[in-house]
A and B are shown apart, each in its own frame.
Chain A
Amino acid sequence: DSGVTQTPKHLITATGQRVTLRCSPRSGDLSVYWYQQSLDQGLQFLIQYYNGEERAKGNILERFSAQQFPDLHSELNLSSLELGDSALYFCASSPTPGSTEAFFGQGTRLTVV
């Protein structure tokens, strides 16, 4: 167990809908990362937050957004969902932005139908 908790584990929704994925980092970790894993694109970095502030953006679509709350949990919001958004979404955490070790949660499997 990495100590990173993600909910829900599975999510099925229709095209055009909006969903929210939740992540609780390891105790003491201030930095949260979101990654998307799909068969064709592999594991791709989406966005990073540190202590409530956005620190870096990767290949995140404009329809997607995230935030980190004062208690350090993070949410990834996906809107206007398309079939191609079906993927595994992982959250990872590390103590600081410059920390090299990142610990991953078990992921949320999103299926858009």
Chain B
Amino acid sequence: GENVEQHPSTLSVQEGDSAVIKCTYSDSASNYFPWYKQELGKGPQLIIDIRSNVGEKKDQRIAVTLNKTAKHFSLHITETQPEDSAVYFCAAIFSGGGADGLTFGKGTHLIIQP
């Protein structure tokens, strides 16, 4: 089955700086890679995703890159703000029309220092 490794487990950055979270996956068949943000007491919220036919995707201050050869993908947050503080999860899945669940990384606790 799929295995997703996520690093770092905790990341502290100054407000306004950039943050980068990295994930690797094991199953070369995986073709969809979402990122979720989880705030305290809430469920995971999808913030951005990327499919295997795309190398990079950007949405305002958030971007995700994918390297299929190396089987790793990263989340980049620029100009960090206090509301970016949360736990971020990467995930991977093969979405081939079948049925299955997402395999998640262990999460990164992002702390934005004022």
Chain B interface mostly: loop
Give per-residue flags for A30-53: 1 if the beta carbon is below 8 A from chain B beta carbons, else 0.
Answer: 010101000000111111101000
**Judging by beta carbons under 8 Å apart, are B101 and A58 in contact?**
yes
Binds A, one of B17-25, B42-50, B54-62, B75-83: B42-50
Give per-residue flags for B4-24: 1 if the beta carbon is below 8 A from chain A beta carbons, else 0.
Answer: 000000000000000000000
Give per-residue flags for B25-59: 1 if the beta carbon is below 8 A from chain A beta carbons, else 0.
Answer: 00000001010100001111110010100000000
**Judging by beta carbons under 8 Å apart, are B107 and A42 in contact?**
yes
**How many residues of B are in contact with the other chain, CB < 8 A?**
26
A55 at the interface (CB under 8 A from B): yes
A106 at the interface (CB under 8 A from B): yes
B96 at the interface (CB under 8 A from A): yes
Q: In the bound complex, how far is the Cα of B55 from the Cα of A91, in angstroms?
A: 30
Measured CB to CB, the residues of B under 8 A from A are: 32, 34, 36, 41-46, 49, 51, 89, 93, 95-107
